[in-house]
A and B are shown apart, each in its own frame.
Chain A
Amino acid sequence: MSAPQKAKAGAEKIAVTVSAVVPVTEYVTRFEFTRTDGADFPPFSGGAHTVVSMEDGDRTRLNPYSLMSDPTDLSHYAISVRREDTGRGGSAFMHSQVAPGDAMTITCPVNLFGLDWRAKKHIFFAGGIGITPFLAMIGQLEQTNGNWELHYAARTPESAAYADMLLAKFPTKVHVYYSGQGVRIPLESLLSGQPLGTHAYVCGPAGLIDLVHDTATGIGWPHSNVHSEEFLAPAPGAPFEVRLCKSDKTITVGEHESLLEAMEREGVDAPFLCRGGSCGQCETNVVSADGGFIHRDHWLDDDDRASGKKIMPCVSRFVGTTLELDR
């Protein structure tokens, strides 16, 4: 076709101004953005995330966060960030460096955790900061008179971001459980009592996600009625060297950066959307490898992994002597 315009990596970018920084709990802070050009934001669907660019010295950090603002109010977008003191530094940067008035760049929304619009009822299970996508989903369902309920697990009342607001606004639909008080979500009884056509959604720690899937499967729920989202942060690991054949470059992936980040640092335009092992956009072909892969994504299936011919550079690593990629 004529003069093909090659897609740039990542979703479309939007220049924003930080309009508010609001502490929510000891660890969670909300960041609100307006568009620098003064226009409204694009509409979005509950469950969508945006990738926030952070200019941290000579390094650009790109972290995905669920949009938690009300999708019916497009005058601003909001995210809530939990400070991870042992993390890779993105959340610490947001908490310590970002102030109202700052200019930042975020991407257009991408939704890998959408509502199933066929559902007769939506039941949400949130753990900790996993509450954020549900805030936007609730906003969207309230607009259309959707049938929903929320079960929210947190450590203590003090750490349960937005629990008070939710309980005040939706006293009959929101249920909060504090593990510090020894109270757990009664998953089995909740999942057993749902009408046909109910869809369940879970966001939070891996343990909760697995538990919801396992419990639902155990009592006969169809797989396709249980939805989950877990963003993986890239895990540190031993540095390794990679040959990028198309770019004609040999690069070293550092201990605290991902393969995707190392490629970007070297100026290689590598595709991505979610940066969390879910969307599949960064899938890269392996030309040759002498060593083993540490696959951490949710994308490649067992056959792909067994073939040794694919890697997801956003979260997965390599241990061995030589690795050549088709990038």
Chain B
Amino acid sequence: MTIQFNDETFRDDYSFHNSEWAIRRFPFPFHEDSYMYSMNAEQHRGGPDGSVYENRFDVDEHYVSEMQDRAKVLSEDPLRCQSLPHMTLAGWDLLELIMVSKSEDYPDLFELHRDGDQWRWVNKPLGIDDTFTFLDESTLPYGPMEYITRQSQGDFALLDQRDENLWMDAGMVTTQADWSLDFNIGMNFIEWHGPVPLANEMGIFKRALKFLLNIPQGSPGRRLNWTMTVNPLLDTSPENYHKWGIQKTTLTPENIGAKQHLRVELQTFYRLPRSNALAFPIRCYLCSFQDLMTMPKWGRRLHRVVRDLPVELATYKGFIDNRPLMIDYLSKFDDGLPTSPGIFPEPETEPPLKT
């Protein structure tokens, strides 16, 4: 399939939009009518045709515009991309993983030609055709992690594994849900999860850490996480909170359908072969409430989840003040009918909204 790349913005005039194709494949994060934390991980081994699970690194209609937005963020704040000196090898591991995966999964968009250490990488959507020496940093315009993640949607954390812990020692983070690489760099898994309510008491982090430490090479995993964002902003960083935090107060009953977005992260985990580090790509998908409501199952379910979410979680995810507005809007799309299990919208079989 050839992808038509959107020309759109994630700031100022917010021309970001999802096509019907993008709405239909949106990774809706709720598999049932309620939500609580869990380490809801499964193997990352493909998925239904056309879904965001199909390929190792999903490329969609937002690719080119997202990469332009990343370049803007980096030019204003270079600290969004950092790699401690011992993480260069992990950066090469990530570069290899992404180049091999994308050239195999999207041969019409990406090409990788390898002759020993001499590699040629062709990225047609971004107009890149570079030849370099694998493992020789001097032959690339950036370090290996920065080079490849300027060409890959989603944030990337590279976690060093030692002392039975994971350490956030490198990353490219420009599309994040209110956390800061510059603040977290060098922290371990338990430290950087310090602010999350309830989960620690539930023993989730201890179990999650054990799970991640044991991700073997060749067996990647994935899970979904979510939050809420007003306006289709990729960069909801603490560094720029003064710019986007205020926008949460602009919601009205008239504009909520277009302005309020469900923000979903497809998180994947890969053991990297040469460094033994863990790659943690965090891919952000945005979808407006009004687009979500075109799928009757999602309308019913989102209302029930938002209505019943514990106060701590609605507070932590930053929408406790807007929750009454959201519930008013969403309730119009919930006729009380049961929903089918699983995250997929199933518009062919799910009954239309009773009015």
Query: A residues near B, CB below 8 A?
Result: 1-7, 11-12, 42-45, 47-48, 71, 107-111, 114-118, 140, 143-144, 224, 273, 279-281
Cβ–Cβ contact B218 & A2, under 8 A: no
Contact surface of B with A, Cβ cutoff 8 Å: 31, 40, 42-43, 45, 47-48, 53, 86-87, 89-90, 93, 96, 135, 160-163, 210, 213-214, 216-219, 223-224, 273-276, 342-344
Q: A44-B273, A45-B275 are in contact. Are A1 and B343 (CB under 8 A)?
A: yes
A109 with B45: CB separation less than 8 A: no
Chain A residues with CB under 8 A of B275: 45, 117
Give the shortest distance, in Å, between A35 (CB) and chain B (any CB). 13
Q: Which residues of A contact B276 (CB under 8 A)?
A: 45, 47-48, 111, 114-115
B31 touches A44 (CB 8 A): no
By DSSP majority rule, is chain B's interface helix, strand, loop, or mixed? loop
Contacts of A111 in B (CB 8 A): 217, 276
A134 to B102, CA, bound (A): 34
CB atoms of B86 and A2 under 8 A apart: no
Residues of B within 8 A of A5 (CB): 42-43, 45
Chain A residues near B210 (CB, 8 Å)?
280
Do the beta carbons of A116 and B162 come within 8 Å of each other? yes
Contact between A280 and B214 (Cβ–Cβ < 8 Å)? yes
**A11 touches which of B43, B162, B163, B217 (Cβ 8 Å):** B217
Residues of B within 8 A of A140 (CB): 274
A12 CB to nearest B CB, Å? 4
Contact between chains at A2 and B343 (CB < 8 Å): yes
Bound Cα distance A2, B51 (Å): 11
Q: Cβ of A7 and Cβ of B223 under 8 Å apart?
A: no
In chain B, what residue has the closest Cβ to A223? B163
Taking a contact as CB atoms under 8 Å apart, the answer to whether B224 and A1 are in contact is: yes
Nearest CB on B from A10, distance (A): 8
Q: How far is the CA of A107 from the CA of B216 in the complex (A)?
A: 10
Contacts of B135 in A (CB 8 A): 143-144
B217 contacts A109, C-beta separation under 8 Å: yes
With A7-B43, A45-B273, A71-B274 as known contacts, state yes or no: A2 contacts B216, CB within 8 Å.
no
Q: A2-B344, A4-B42 are in contact. List 17 more A-B contacts (CB 8 A).
A: A1-B31, A1-B40, A1-B224, A2-B47, A6-B42, A7-B219, A11-B217, A11-B218, A12-B217, A45-B273, A110-B216, A117-B87, A117-B275, A143-B135, A224-B162, A280-B210, A281-B214
CA distance A3 to B161 in the complex (A): 30
Cα A314 to Cα B284 in complex, Å, equals 40
Taking a contact as CB atoms closer than 8 A, the residue among A2, A42, A48, A280 that contacts B342 in the complex is A2
Residues on A with beta carbons closer than 8 Å to the beta carbon of B89: 117, 144
Q: How far is the CA of A107 from the CA of B210 in the complex (A)?
A: 20
- Judging by beta carbons under 8 Å apart, are A11 and B160 in contact? no
* Contacting pair B216 A11 (CB below 8 A): yes
Please measure, in the bound complex, the distance between the C-alpha atom of A230 and the C-alpha atom of B272, giving whole angstroms.
Answer: 23
Contact between B31 and A42, CB atoms less than 8 A apart: no
CA distance A132 to B131 in the complex (A): 36
Which 8 A-B pairs rank lowest in CB-CB distance, beginning with the nearest?
A12-B218, A108-B218, A117-B86, A43-B273, A114-B276, A11-B216, A4-B42, A118-B86
Contacts of A117 in B (CB 8 A): 86-87, 89-90, 160, 275
Q: Does B274 contact A45, Cβ atoms closer than 8 Å? A: yes
Contacts A44-B273, A117-B160; A273 near B216 (Cβ below 8 A): yes
Chain A residues positioned under 8 Å from B43 (CB to CB)? 5-7
When distances are taken between beta carbons in the complex, the residues of chain B under 8 Å from A42 are: 217-218, 273
**In the complex, which residues of chain A have a beta carbon less than 8 angstroms from the beta carbon of B90?**
117
- The answer to whether A43 touches B31, judged by C-beta atoms less than 8 angstroms apart, is no
Nearest CB of B to A48, in Å: 8
Please judge, given known A-B contacts A44-B273, A117-B87, whether A273 and B214 are in contact too, CB under 8 Å: yes
Inter-chain CA distance A117–B158, complex, in Å, is 13
Within the complex, the shortest CB–CB distance from B136 to chain A, in Å, comes to 11
Provide the bound-state CA to CA distance between A154 and B219, in Å.
Answer: 37
CA distance A164 to B343 in the complex (A): 61
Q: In the bound complex, how far is the Cα of B342 from the Cα of A108, in angstroms?
A: 32
Give bound CA distance, A240 to B163, whole Å.
Answer: 35
**Closest A residue by C-beta to B161:** A114
Report the minimal beta-carbon distance from A46 to chain B, rounded to whole angstroms.
Answer: 9
The answer to whether A108 and B219 have CB atoms under 8 Å apart is yes
- Inter-subunit contact A1/B217 (CB<8 Å): no
The listed residue (B45, B47, B214, B216) touching A108 by CB distance below 8 A is B216
Q: Which residues of B contact A114 (CB under 8 A)?
A: 161-162, 276
CA of A7 to CA of B211 in the docked complex: distance in angstroms? 12
* Residue of A7, A107, A273 with highest tally of chain B CB at under 10 A: A7
Query: Is B219 in contact with A1, judged by CB distance below 8 angstroms?
Result: no
Once the chains are docked, how many angstroms separate the CA of A281 from the CA of B212? 11
CA A115 to CA B53, docked complex, whole Å: 33
What are 12 A-B contacts with C-beta separation under 8 Å? A1-B42, A1-B343, A2-B343, A11-B218, A12-B219, A44-B273, A110-B216, A111-B217, A114-B161, A114-B276, A117-B160, A144-B135
Q: Once the chains bind, are A108 and B42 in contact (CB under 8 Å)?
A: no
